[in-house]
Amino acid sequence: MEMASRRKNDSVEDEKHLSPFPDEVLERVLVFVKSHRDRSSVSLVCKDWYSAERWSRTHVFIGNCYSVSPEILVRRFPNIRSVTLKGKPRFSDFNLVPPNWGADIHEWLAVFASAYPFLEELRLKRMTVTDESLEFLAQSFPKFKALSLVSCDGFSTDGLAAIATHCKNLSNATLNMVYSLRIRNLTELDIQENDMDDLGGRWLSCFPEKFTSLEILNFANLNSEVNFDALERLVTRCKSLKVLKVNRNVTLEQLSRLLMRVPTLTELGTGSFSQELTLRQYAELENAFNTCKNLHTLSGLWEATSLYLAALYPACTNLTFLNLSYAALQSGELAKLLPNCPHLRRLWVLDTVEDNGLEAVGLSCPLLEELRVFPSDPFDQDMILGVGDGVTESGFIAVSRGCHNLRYVLYFCRQMTNTAVATVVQNCPDFTHFRLCIMKPCQPDYLTNEPMDEAFGSVVKTCTKLQRLAVSGLLTDLTFEYIGRYAKNLETLSVAFAGSSDRGMECVLGGCAKLRKLEIRDCPFGNVALLSGLEKYESMRSLWMSACKVTMNGCRLLAREMPRLNVEVIKEDDSDDIQAEKVYIYRSVAGRRRDAPPFVQTL
């Protein structure tokens, strides 16, 4: 591995060598330190270590793109090969952030083009990426290998075509370029019909015939049709393909054909799983899945019906992650499928499986560590007495009885009780991520009619390793007192429609020493609460507050007292000048944003 030349100039003046090794040795050792938090710790030991660390770092993770500027980044780290960047606040996923807010990748790419010409990997989350940026990326980095875009917006398949096309211009020796192209969870993918063929999958055809290095291809959330022939040819010639996740436009029959070409797949995302198949076609499908003995991840299964699910069973033997969240399965179907997956660790389902389905999970998946239950009908938030719709507290308890290794849960439901949650965490005390969403805001324990304070109290008291918590239901300040008192490892907290007074937020800010991300909406927390965290926000990544009771004056005061924080207020049309409807506060060494749109006011 090459390092840009440096050594001579650096520590010549500094005679105090705390480290007994020469720098070269230290750097060789540091190569093995991968975690960015460990690297941060290393850099704080002394000047020598800071220097060695910055020269030896090849991957950088930036959790908030506005916390630092590209110029500052490249000045500190000269040898970066891989960048991970996150942009917009998480609540932008739920349309709480207006469009054109920012987090555009382009200024970063422009700086990287000169500072990191050998950049290999770029992983972006919630960033705006235009086609121009993608084209620029394709042209500027000859060694570029891996592109991952998660929850990004602003580009079209034309941009993807640019990435795929660029391989064409390379000589034979450097054709092993783009090995990973993964696009997930797009918002607003705008498919422009102009230069595309009718199928709209032109970008896939842009991979040249000699291109064989693809290992990961994931376009599951792209809505456009792709040219199946081009896909089949691509898959056939890329012998190292490990991950293939197609979109819903790929039929079962087409899937069979693809699977026969890639027996080495470890991750598969099927296309649509409902098609009228002849007996012969069904046999082919079964055959195809029979060859997939190496699968550890399975997803897709759009519109899966019980008719064809059985074809899957032979491919499930080694599955550790099963994502059924696009398939409206019933409890019986799930109950039949699960025993074929004895090694399952992660399971995502729709609440169509109901409590009975979750009972089957409890019985069949003893190794389960993660469960996510999504609502099949999110607009329907009402609980109907006696008509258990979706999943209830019973299903939650049933899972916890059988799956003692649960660490991560995301659970959307319409009814819950304090006792049930207490039982769940008693059965599963090792939760690190607990996200419970009782879908109707401010809903109490439906049996006792009390707030859900004790539920979350039991979570934080019992689950000492808890890192992430999302609360819901009717909650008073007591919930937050509990959180502040017991959740000592909490890093991320999401709150909506909860709390009774400023005290709630104060307790959290005062008690949760490791808190990094706090996002709040529709809570009665005002300036007193906001300002109680004055000293704390610099140790956090960010704070989001919307539809709370903070005012512009409160925000101004905060901004004045804490100059190293960016206090941004998003002003939408009809808001007055007193209330601060949406506030986003984050620490930054880069000062205020240079690219803030007119509706974002930095105080």
Partner 1 sequence: MELQLGLALPSNPIKGFDLNTHFYEPKDQLVGADSWSYGCCFESKNNSNKRSFEEAFEKTRVVTETLPLLLWNDRSNEEDDRKGFEKSFSSTITEDEGEGDCLVGWPPLKSWRMKLQHQSHGSNSMYVKVKMEGVGIGRKIDLNLHRSYQTLTVTLISMFEKYQKSVRGTKDGTQYTLTYQDREGDWLLAGDVPWQTFIRSVKRLKIQRNNG
Give the binding site for partner 1 (CB under 8 A): 91, 93-96, 151, 185-187, 221, 274, 303, 305-306, 325-326, 328, 330, 350, 352, 374-387, 389, 412, 437, 439-442, 444, 449, 470, 474, 476, 494, 496-497, 500-501, 521-524, 546-547, 579
Q: Which two tokens stand for residue 438?
A: 């009782």
CB-wise, 178 or 523, nearer to partner 1? 523
Q: How far is the CB of 252 from partner 1 (least distance, A)?
A: 15
Q: How far is the CB of 18 from partner 1 (least distance, A)?
A: 48
Q: How far is the CB of 385 from partner 1 (least distance, A)?
A: 5
Q: How far is the CB of 272 from partner 1 (least distance, A)?
A: 12
Question: What is the three-state SS of 279-302?
Answer: HHHHHHHHHHHHCCCCCCEEECCE
CB-wise, 32 or 379, nearer to partner 1? 379
The number of C-alpha atoms within 13 Å of 426 and in the hemisphere containing its C-beta is: 9
Helices (H), 175-266: 202-205, 228-237, 252-261
Q: Tell me 501's DSSP state.
A: S
CB-wise, 346 or 503, nearer to partner 1? 503
126-137 per-residue burial string, b: 16 or more CB within 10 A, e: under 16:
bbbbbbebbbbb
Contact 134, 162 (CB under 8 A): yes
CB-wise, 178 or 545, nearer to partner 1? 545
CB-wise, 295 or 436, nearer to partner 1? 436
Q: How far is the CB of 185 from partner 1 (least distance, A)?
A: 6
Q: Closest by alpha carbon to 295, among 339, 336, 344, 248?
A: 344
Q: Which two tokens stand for residue 215?
A: 């290992």
Q: How many CB atoms lie within 10 A of CB 189?
A: 18
User: Can you tell me whether residue 543 is helix, strand or coil?
Assistant: strand
Give the separation between CA 479 and CA 508, rounded to whole angstroms: 10
Helix and strand totals (H; E) in the chain: 22, 21
**530 to each of 208, 509, 549, how far by Cα in Å?**
55, 9, 9
Q: How far is the CB of 378 from partner 1 (least distance, A)?
A: 5
CB-wise, 121 or 333, nearer to partner 1? 333
**500 to each of 474, 480, 524, 546, 597, how far by Cα in Å?**
10, 10, 6, 16, 34
Q: How far is the CB of 133 from partner 1 (least distance, A)?
A: 22
CB-wise, 268 or 498, nearer to partner 1? 498
Q: How far is the CB of 223 from partner 1 (least distance, A)?
A: 9
Q: Closest by alpha carbon to 160, among 123, 139, 186, 135?
A: 135
CB-wise, 166 or 549, nearer to partner 1? 549
CB-wise, 490 or 496, nearer to partner 1? 496
CB-wise, 260 or 442, nearer to partner 1? 442
CB-wise, 368 or 570, nearer to partner 1? 570
CB-wise, 213 or 272, nearer to partner 1? 272
**474 to each of 113, 218, 417, 471, 521, how far by Cα in Å?**
51, 40, 11, 9, 14
Q: How far is the CB of 524 from partner 1 (least distance, A)?
A: 5
Give the separation between CA 560 and CA 549, rounded to whole angstroms: 19
Contact 147, 182 (CB under 8 A): yes
Q: How far is the CB of 190 from partner 1 (least distance, A)?
A: 14
Q: How far is the CB of 320 from partner 1 (least distance, A)?
A: 23
Q: Closest by alpha carbon to 346, among 326, 373, 327?
A: 373
Q: How many CB atoms lie within 10 A of CB 397?
A: 20
Q: Give 465-498 as a DSSP string.
A: T--EEE--SS--HHHHHHHHHH-TT--EEEEES-
Q: How far is the CB of 181 from partner 1 (least distance, A)?
A: 19
